[in-house]
């Protein structure tokens, strides 16, 4: 077991250099925070012409197709969000492998895992706000999955989304106000400086701007189009696959929370059991990735 762990650590060192002490070779946290800031700024810019009511699809289509630089800002916002999610995941992975949870307060670790967890709903609500068929269906699935939760379900669902004319209003509120504020609040205690220093931001921005200039967004599917296949955001494809076969509450609500939940409580686990707990976390995450890969690769046409 120890030999296997050493092997994995050695392998990862090649991709995440200098996993030693408290310094990492690649400042993932810094980059993640820059990405979040870019997403925040471009989101504010986009909100000048985004309307979460009426014909949202038409307004997004106009914003993307015709408003000057609208497509650029939309792509930049999208790529920043994705970068934030991926970099936060990488940062969390780095500290998981470094076993940082052994060295900091348990509540602090849990709070940081919560911060990592929040990146998912942040990006997911953005997916809904596209206003196309995928976004609308993602919203409906989220609403209905929430309702599957015993006792709390209907209350929680009402906080997430309102079916009907105000469909996009609550996701918009969560995406633009509530979740960013919570992230900033939680991060405020985590970082020494709220505003990052250093030139890393310019590099990331140049990279994202370059991608945003040429990277084609996936096409927006008009809401009225009848289609037998519709896909949610890429990081939920594994769960979408499982929802074909399993009961919604277990595979759609409970199962996604298991890896995050286990990661969050790691610092509370007694030292003697920590090794096993760590492997359980690794296995659950690997299972998630496996389902994701199956959904992408082994069942072509499922997610198109």
Partner 1 sequence: MKRTSIISLVVLLLIFIFLILRQEYHYISSPPSPDGCVVCHEPETEPSPSHLLAVLGCSSCHLGNPFARAKDRAHMGIVKNPGDLHFSRLTCGRNGCHPDLPQRVEKSIMATNRGILKAMQTLWPHDTSESVHDIRELIEKPIGQSVALDHFRKMCGGCHLWRPRYPKLGEIGRRGGGCTDCHIQELSSHTQDLSKKRFRHPELTTRIPSENCLKCHNRSARIGLSYTGRFESEAYGTPYQKGGPGSRRLSGGRFYLELPSDVHHQKAGMDCIDCHTEKGVMGDGKIYTHQEEQVDITCITCHDPDLQNENPDRELARRLERLNRRQPSFSVHSYLISPKGSPLYHIRPGPGNKMKLYRKRDGKEIVFERLAQPEVHKAPYHKRLSCQACHSAWMPQCYGCHETLFKQASQRGWLTGKKWPGRWVEGRSYLRFRKPTLGVWPDGQIGPFAPGCQVFLETFDEKGDYQPDISFRSLVMASFDPHTTAKNSPDCIGCHLDSKVLGLGEGSLKVTGKGLNFKPVYLSSESGLGIEFPLDAFVSAKGSPLQKPSRPQGRPFNGEELQQITRVGLCIPCHDQYDDPIYSRYEQSLSRFLAGDAPCRKEVP
Partner 2 sequence: MLTRREVFTRFLQCLVAGSSLYIVWKYVRGTGPSSLEVNFSKPPKEGEVLFSQGSYLVGLKQGPIAFSARCPHLGCRLEYAAMVQHFQCPCHGSQFTLEGRRLDGPAKKGMTILDLRMDDRCGAYKITLPLS
Binding site for partner 1 (CB under 8 A): 57-58, 61-69, 72, 199, 202-203, 205-207, 209-210, 213, 219-222, 224-225
Under the criterion CB under 8 A, does residue 51 sit at the interface with partner 2? no
> For the chain, where are the E strands, in sequence order?
none
Residues near partner 2 (CB under 8 A), total: 10
Nearer to partner 2, 48 or 245 (CB): 48
Nearer to partner 1, 62 or 98 (CB): 62
Write out the DSSP string of 152-180: THHHHHHHH---STTTTHHHHHIIIIIHH
Binding mask 65-104 for partner 2 (x = CB under 8 A): -xxxxx-xx-------------------------------
Q: Which of 6, 9, 20, 49 binds partner 2 (CB under 8 A)?
A: 49
State in angstroms the smallest separation of the CB of 55 from partner 2.
15
Helix, strand, coil percentages in the chain from 3-state DSSP, rounded to 5? 70, 0, 30
Count CB-CB contacts under 10 A for residue 153: 16
Query: Three-state DSSP class for 20?
Result: strand
Nearest CB to partner 1, comparing residues 76 and 115: 76
Q: Determine how many CB atoms are found less than 10 A away from the CB of residue 15.
A: 8
What is d(CA 241, CA 252) in angstroms, rounded to the nearest whole number? 10
Looking at the Cβ atoms of 26 and 287, the one nearer to partner 1 is 26
Residue 4, contacted partner among partner 1, partner 2, none, CB below 5-8 A by kind? none
Residue 213: contacted member of partner 2, partner 1, none (CB under 5 to 8 Å, by partner type): partner 1
Q: In whole angstroms, how far apart are CA 173 and each of 21, 33, 125?
A: 40, 21, 9
Residue 45, interface with partner 2 (CB under 8 A)? yes
Closer residue to partner 1, CB minimum distance, 64 or 80: 64
Task: Name the minimum Å distance from CB 130 to partner 2.
Answer: 18
Return the bridge partners of 23, or none: 20
Output the CA–CA distances (angstroms, integers) from residue 220 to 24, 129, 169, 193, in the order listed. 39, 11, 20, 38
For partner 1, the closer of residues 221 and 262 by Cβ is: 221
CA 214-198-87 angle, 5° bins? 55
User: Which residue's CB is nearer to partner 1, number 65 or number 163?
Assistant: 65
> In degrees rounded to 5, what are phi and psi of residue 23?
-110, 130
Write each residue from 111 to 150 as x if it is in contact with partner 2 (CB under 8 A), else as -, in one continuous string: ----------------------------------------
- Chain position carrying tokens 């994995």: 8
Told to check if 211 binds partner 2 by CB under 8 A, we report no
> Would you tell me which residues interact with partner 2 (CB under 8 A)?
45, 48-49, 66-70, 72-73
């Amino acid at each position: 077991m120890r030999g296997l762990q050493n092997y994995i650590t050695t392998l990862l060192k090649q991709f995440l250099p200098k996993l030693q002490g408290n310094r990492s070779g690649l400042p993932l946290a810094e980059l993640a925070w820059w990405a979040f800031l870019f997403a925040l700024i471009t989101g504010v810019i986009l909100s000048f012409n985004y309307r979460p009511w009426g014909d949202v699809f038409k307004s997004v289509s106009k914003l993307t197709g015709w408003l000057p630089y609208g497509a650029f800002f939309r792509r930049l916002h999208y790529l920043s969000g994705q970068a934030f999610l991926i970099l936060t995941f990488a940062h969390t992975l780095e500290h998981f492998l470094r076993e940082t949870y052994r060295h900091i307060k348990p509540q602090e670790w849990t709070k940081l895992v919560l911060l990592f967890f929040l990146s998912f709903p942040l990006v997911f609500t953005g997916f809904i706000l596209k206003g196309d068929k995928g976004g609308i269906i993602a919203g409906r699935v989220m609403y209905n999955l929430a309702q599957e939760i015993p006792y709390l379900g209907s209350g929680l669902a009402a906080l997430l989304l309102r079916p009907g004319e105000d469909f996009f209003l609550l996701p918009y509120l969560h995406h633009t106000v509530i979740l960013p504020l919570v992230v900033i609040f939680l991060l405020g205690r985590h970082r020494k400086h709220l505003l990052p220093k250093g030139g890393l931001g310019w590099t990331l921005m140049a990279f994202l701007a370059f991608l945003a200039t040429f990277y084609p967004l996936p096409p927006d599917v008009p809401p009225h189009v009848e289609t037998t296949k519709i896909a949610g955001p890429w990081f939920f494809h594994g769960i979408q696959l499982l929802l074909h076969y399993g009961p919604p509450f277990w595979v759609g609500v409970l199962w996604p929370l298991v890896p995050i939940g286990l990661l969050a409580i790691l610092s509370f686990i007694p030292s003697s059991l920590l090794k096993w707990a760590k492997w359980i976390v690794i296995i659950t995450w690997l299972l998630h990735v496996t389902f994701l890969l199956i959904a992408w690769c082994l069942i072509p046409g499922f997610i198109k």
